[in-house]
């Protein structure tokens, strides 16, 4: 059930019904990988009945997770929390090889909801290892996708870098066989700088033929660049632990706009709208459109809202379900 909307007009200029131009980014919200992951859990609940266990948050969004909990999903951090014989789903972020191996040892019926674009990076890591190269992985330490990708190769065969400063501190020589890969949800601009630093320091380094940053991450950042320059404030709907949502906030700020991350409409403070004539709105790849409309409704309680959707790309990507769930 949606959280109650604020009704106070304090600080929001609602008494005067001051007009508010709302620039809504497109594309925004769910990507194909998130759609697929959620559908896998829902179909698993239909097939097996509740409960179905999910290792880690299926996607980084509390609204989505709570909705699946209400249907019978139980979220755990480790397979040791899953009873013998229970079905389990792996999250969209990917898991180390040790996780499905443990599931097979315990004869658990598991479904892998790893985004296919993340799985692609996993396969690239294996190929670079087979070619005898040490892997430089560009990503955010501790993020589930980074942990999952590092777990595709033996310990010691991958080095994580988060910044150009980390590249400067790398100990390898120009004679060492090296390759780089990236997390799929990074800042396009930041990653370009890190890759450039790697190529300058190590001319021999091998990179992927295609961009590892996923289409949805790139498209959502480009869409923010369309709305942010003309906005006094940009609101990004997403979770604090959502990498792609945090990057959208950073992109908006770099465009010169004030930007804030919210999880839903109830997070908005009326005072934020002081002096705001144009507000930009977008949602991270794990945030459903329901939350976008909730925010629009909240803003309409305070101000006379005129909506404009700025379309920078049209997405038609669809990923197949695991064969166990295919119709």
144-166 average pLDDT score: 97
- Residue 137 clears pLDDT 80, i.e. is over it: yes
Give, to the nearest 10 degrees, the angle between helix 116-130 and helix 32-48.
Answer: 110
Check if the beta carbon of residue 77 is closer than 8 Å to that of residue 55.
yes
Check if the beta carbon of residue 191 is closer than 8 Å to that of residue 148.
no
CA distance 184 to 191: 10
- Residue 163 clears pLDDT 90, i.e. is over it: yes
Query: Which pLDDT belongs to residue 86?
Result: 93
CA distance 298 to 120: 40
Query: Which pLDDT belongs to residue 13?
Result: 44
CA-wise closest residue to 238 among 186, 283, 196, 299: 283
> Distance from first CA to last CA of the chain, Å, rounded?
30
122-151 average pLDDT score: 97
Query: Which pLDDT belongs to residue 18?
Result: 85
256 Cβ neighbours under 8 A, 6+ residues apart: 228, 229
CATH class, 32-112 region: alpha beta
The architecture of the domain spanning 116-201 is 3-Layer(aba) Sandwich (3.40)
CA distance 148 to 95: 4
Provide the token pair at 110.
């598991």
Which one-letter DSSP state was computed for residue 190? H
Q: CA-CA distances (angstroms) from residue 288 to 59, 134, 213?
A: 11, 38, 21
Q: Matching CATH topology for 19-30+215-311 and 32-112?
A: no
Structural element, H or E, at residue 111 = strand 110-112
CA distance 90 to 110: 7
Q: How confident is the model at residue 16 (pLDDT cuts 50, 70, 90)?
A: low
Express each pLDDT in 225-240 by its tens digit: 999 999 999 999 999 9
Phi/psi at 222 (5° precision): -65, -40
- Residue 2 clears pLDDT 90, i.e. is over it: no
254-274 average pLDDT score: 97
Residue reference for tokens 């959620």: 38
Cα 246 from chain centroid (whole Å)? 9
Express each pLDDT in 214-228 by its tens digit: 999 999 999 999 999
The one catalytic residue among 145, 269, 271, 306: 145
Q: How confident is the model at residue 272 (pLDDT cuts 50, 70, 90)?
A: very high
CATH of domain 19-30+215-311: 3.40.1010.20
Q: How confident is the model at residue 6 (pLDDT cuts 50, 70, 90)?
A: very low
pTM: 0.90
Phi/psi at 79 (5° precision): -65, -20
Percent of the chain with pLDDT over 70: 94
Beta pairing class for 88-90 and 52-55: parallel
- Residue 192 clears pLDDT 90, i.e. is over it: yes
CA-wise closest residue to 326 among 40, 113, 37: 40
- Residue 9 clears pLDDT 70, i.e. is over it: no
Q: CA-CA distances (angstroms) from residue 94 to 121, 133, 213, 224, 288?
A: 10, 22, 15, 27, 21
- Per domain, the residue ranges of the chain are 19-30+215-311, 32-112, 116-201
3-state secondary structure of 207: coil
Number of C-beta neighbours around residue 325 at 10 A: 15
Query: Which pLDDT belongs to residue 212?
Result: 84
178 Cβ neighbours under 8 A, 6+ residues apart: 133, 134, 135, 136, 172, 202, 204, 205, 206
Mean pLDDT of all residues belonging to the chain: 93
CA distance 131 to 276: 55
Is 297 in the active site?
Answer: no
């Amino acid at each position: 059930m949606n959280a109650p909307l604020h009704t106070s007009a304090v600080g929001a200029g609602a008494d005067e019904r001051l007009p508010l131009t709302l620039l809504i980014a497109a594309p925004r919200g769910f990507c194909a990988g998130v759609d697929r992951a959620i559908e896998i859990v829902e179909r698993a609940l239909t097939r097996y009945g509740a409960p179905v266990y999910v290792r880690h948050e299926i996607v980084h969004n509390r609204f989505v997770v709570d909705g699946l909990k209400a249907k019978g999903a139980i979220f755990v951090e480790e397979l040791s929390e899953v009873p013998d014989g229970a079905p389990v789903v792996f999250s969209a972020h990917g898991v180390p090889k040790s996780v499905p191996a443990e599931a097979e040892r315990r004869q658990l019926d598991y479904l892998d909801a790893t985004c296919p674009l993340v799985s692609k990076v996993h396969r690239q890591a294996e190929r670079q290892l087979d070619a005898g190269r040490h892997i430089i992985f560009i990503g955010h330490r501790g993020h589930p996708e980074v942990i999952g990708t590092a777990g595709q190769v033996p310990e010691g065969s991958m080095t994580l870098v988060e910044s150009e400063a980390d590249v400067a501190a790398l100990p390898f020589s120009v004679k060492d066989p090296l390759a780089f890969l990236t997390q799929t949800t990074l800042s396009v601009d930041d990653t370009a700088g890190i890759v450039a630093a790697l190529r300058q320091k190590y001319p021999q380094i091998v990179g992927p033929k295609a961009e590892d940053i996923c289409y949805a991450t790139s498209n959502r950042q480009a869409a923010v660049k369309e709305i942010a320059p003309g906005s006094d404030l940009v609101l990004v709907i997403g979770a604090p632990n959502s990498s792609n949502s945090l990057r959208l906030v950073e992109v908006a700020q770099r465009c010169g706009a004030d930007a804030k991350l919210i999880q839903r409409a109830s997070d908005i403070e009326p005072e934020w709208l002081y002096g705001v004539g144009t507000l930009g709105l977008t949602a991270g790849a794990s945030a459903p459109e329901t939350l976008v409309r909730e925010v629009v409704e909240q803003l309409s309680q305070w101000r006379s809202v005129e909506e404009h959707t700025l379309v920078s790309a049209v997405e038609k990507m669809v990923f197949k379900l695991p064969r166990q769930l295919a119709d």
